[in-house]
Structure 1
């Protein structure tokens, strides 16, 4: 029996979630409400599939089948799906809730999320999914592990990356993504990212964000809010924050000694940098990571100062000159 064939208990309304892996967490939170359980069933139909370790967009066939008796559709409006046509399959009076795809690099402004590098593979993922532009450049320029690590730890990202532009861009993305929806995540992230950990990875929000999403849906349905949820499914894969990011924003929920969980490992920031450099050199030696897509596009290029500074450093006649001298 496919996802779209799951039966709904008599007398209960049917909620269908069409999302990325974020839907797995949201389904748990929705079903954690006894009040919701009394009146609704909840079916998660992922909009992705993983075959031979590669993730791609799933067929919408299961979703189309499930919508025939669906009362509430909660969905990521992915361009690969024809949602106007899919929604027309729903019964009269059914409701839809468009949910933004919640991502942010506000904690990691030098990660290139468009071009995964998959350093240190682990199952269907990797300990280090995305490359750090600054650290890669230093590895290629310095060709010495100790010099690379010392330089990167000493780097003040606020001097070479437009951090305010990164923050404004990320909040702007969320504001655009939630336009005409019931959600107000842009304001929530802007008001809370300093005092609360809101993301584990760029595409993995932490539990406070999911609670905000779930409680907004509960309010829409006239159901009492959840005050807490003990288990955070995404907590097992994190990326530490560069100390200069912590200092720039005066972040209070971590410091440079905080241990972060990276699948089967636990590391503070300096340990993570050591692991990153070793993994990079093992895979690429001291050559530049091949980038399929150019990350510097459009009017918003927060890394421009970083590129210019690193370019000046690589032209410098002595190691350690330029960016950090």
Structure 2
């Protein structure tokens, strides 16, 4: 393990992200970033002093962050890369650029600027006159473009040579045939891969690390906004990928042609409501976010980002059909963004539309085979249909390219558990915990499975997770997805949910001591809305595993949904008796008591949940809910404030506190 500090601009920050994903996750290197464009503070200086390796970007000018003399550690250089000759007037932000809290660089900062247009506007030209003059401009008459190309490339080669790289050759080879930069200093995927590959080699990365990075980095790690290229520049350099109808992504507002960009630039036109609304989706202010997004989308209906943000806001408000429509619009506008397709597929899956969900996940993976969320969701939708062999194959194929993706190992553990292979599930969860040691859900599930498999529930292995080729050894072939006799995968690939349920029934009957298959049968029945049968299967699992509180918890939740509150209370009390120090069993018991009209008992149980687990933010959040029902608004506010202190990122808690404060301000009880 090494302590690596990387010093540079946004290019170095993006390289650090790639290094962490493809190398440090294997080696255990601790990597920090220090911005070169700001003076070093005391913390940055300390990180540099303690570094084992310092990565330093070579710029044309001396950086503000001067690190010489702070460390004797070996230095690895990385050159700044640019194709600035394609944008001869870029680099000077619009004189009326408006910086805001939700868009700190403003809509027309240095990477989205045009100095020639700036000068026309500063000379007092009318916006329409300035736009017409610029569109008609023969740029070659103002700038010697060939000489500019020579200067930019000579400086690039000079930086390359000083750092031991060969970036200029790639720029020269490809800039006419494809877009290799989005803006003067934001490379597209090809140059990002070349830069990362050469940095990785200097840092001693393995050939396998580099190959994984090359195969997975199909989308640039840089911001996706583009700066349009003047048609005269495109003609001069014979850019084969630029034509009259070529469009460019501007902020989050959609795609625009060069004349449309110029018309916007001269008027400083942009869509503040849309940008603020997208940022607001990361807060609890959902009504405000929705209002901003709808206002913004009325002005910019071609914004895929806006429609995707609206999908998120609507879904969080429980408006699923509206969210589905917004998700479809996002995918229609941005068909090559795999995350949008994953989210749309997830909505289809939640609605039980298996074919539509599967199609979207597969399309996402065609766009970006390394979209691990799509891999996970596809595996789950295949499992939902009983196609366990295909689900295993999907995850294992994903692990070949992303062997250190914790969510893939977590899904593999789920599939092993579903097929009764508990030892293999524990091993997969050990890999999850080696990658993400602070994952409480994986820890709890691993310990529960290990306990009931008769294995040690102690700490998981802290060894480096195995590479994909070794991980594959623990996975079944499509014909051997489950090792236990009668397990669902041995029956062939069913194509409908009912087929999967029947296979699970046969497997459960064939292995009368196995509680996990009965649990999986209950889950499959619940997904189909067959709650009475799901409850019966859950009770069977509890009979087979009587000292497992999670079995009782499942019975309680199913009985509650069926309206049998007495049975739910009995099950939750059984879970509490088995595990009295678990708040997660006491809060649903409190809820059931309240729903039976026994509010004082419910409040008392909610208080006990916080007492037995004082570090559980959800327990305090539920106590606040119970106290609110009891009319104790100030006490409820104190409880939810405690919850926020334990988990300040929980947006639901913030919304709960805001609602309580509004009630108190209105004098409501």
> TM-score when scaled to structure 1?
0.69
Does structure 1 conserve the Cα–Cα contact (< 8 Å) formed by 2:4 and 2:55?
Answer: yes
Does structure 1 conserve the Cα–Cα contact (< 8 Å) formed by 2:92 and 2:109?
Answer: no
Q: Which residue of 2 aligns with 1:171?
A: 153
Q: Which residue of 1 aligns with 2:239?
A: 251
Q: Which residue of 1 aligns with 2:6?
A: 17
Does structure 2 conserve the Cα–Cα contact (< 8 Å) formed by 1:67 and 1:86?
Answer: yes
How far apart in 2 are the matches of 1:69 and 1:166?
A: 41
1:82-93 to 2 correspondence within 5 Å? Answer: 82-88=66-72, 90=73
Identify the match of residue 134 of structure 1 among 102, 109, 116: 116
How far apart in 1 are the matches of 2:123 and 2:13?
A: 42
How far apart in 2 are the matches of 1:152 and 1:275?
A: 13
Q: Which residue of 1 aligns with 2:162?
A: 180
Q: Which has the bigger relative contact order, CA under 8 A and spacing at least 6? A: 1
Identify the match of residue 98 of structure 1 among 72, 77, 81: 77
How far apart in 2 are the matches of 1:217 and 1:178?
A: 12
How far apart in 2 are the matches of 1:47 and 1:154?
A: 40
Deviation at 1:179, TM superposition (A): 3.2
Give CA deviations for 1:184-213 in whole Å, capped at 9, x if unaligned: 222222222222322222232223222111
**By percentage of residues, which structure has more helix?**
2
Q: Which residue of 1 aligns with 2:54?
A: 73
Equivalenced residue count is 255
* 1:239 lines up with 2:220 in the alignment: no
Does structure 2 conserve the Cα–Cα contact (< 8 Å) formed by 1:195 and 1:253?
Answer: yes
Q: Which residue of 1 aligns with 2:125?
A: 143
* 1:277 lines up with 2:266 in the alignment: yes
Give CA deviations for 1:100-129 in whole Å, capped at 9, x if unaligned: 222342111122x25664635451112222
Q: Which residue of 2 aligns with 1:162?
A: 144
Identify the match of residue 97 of structure 2 among 85, 108, 119: 119
1:13-52 to 2 correspondence within 5 Å? Answer: 13-33=2-22, 36-47=24-35
Secondary structure at the counterpart of residue 265 of structure 1:
coil
Does structure 2 conserve the Cα–Cα contact (< 8 Å) formed by 1:18 and 1:63?
Answer: no
Secondary structure at the counterpart of residue 263 of structure 1:
coil
Does structure 2 conserve the Cα–Cα contact (< 8 Å) formed by 1:13 and 1:41?
Answer: yes
Give CA deviations for 1:248-276 in whole Å, capped at 9, x if unaligned: 11112333322212212232111100001
Change (3 A) 1:196 1:60: farther
RMSD: 2.7
* 1:215 lines up with 2:203 in the alignment: no
Does structure 2 conserve the Cα–Cα contact (< 8 Å) formed by 1:21 and 1:46?
Answer: no
Does structure 2 conserve the Cα–Cα contact (< 8 Å) formed by 1:103 and 1:204?
Answer: yes
Deviation at 1:169, TM superposition (A): 1.0
How far apart in 1 are the matches of 2:166 and 2:96?
A: 33
Deviation at 1:98, TM superposition (A): 1.4
Change (3 A) 1:202 1:210: same
How far apart in 1 are the matches of 2:96 and 2:126?
A: 22
How far apart in 1 are the matches of 2:40 and 2:71?
A: 16
Secondary structure at the counterpart of residue 180 of structure 1:
helix
How far apart in 1 are the matches of 2:191 and 2:96?
A: 26
Unpaired segments ≥5 residues, structure 2: 270-669
Change (3 A) 1:70 1:134: closer
Change (3 A) 1:134 1:235: same
How far apart in 2 are the matches of 1:115 and 1:147?
A: 20
Deviation at 1:141, TM superposition (A): 6.0
> TM-score when scaled to structure 2?
0.35
How far apart in 1 are the matches of 2:126 and 2:64?
A: 45
Does structure 1 conserve the Cα–Cα contact (< 8 Å) formed by 2:3 and 2:50?
Answer: yes
Does structure 2 conserve the Cα–Cα contact (< 8 Å) formed by 1:235 and 1:261?
Answer: no
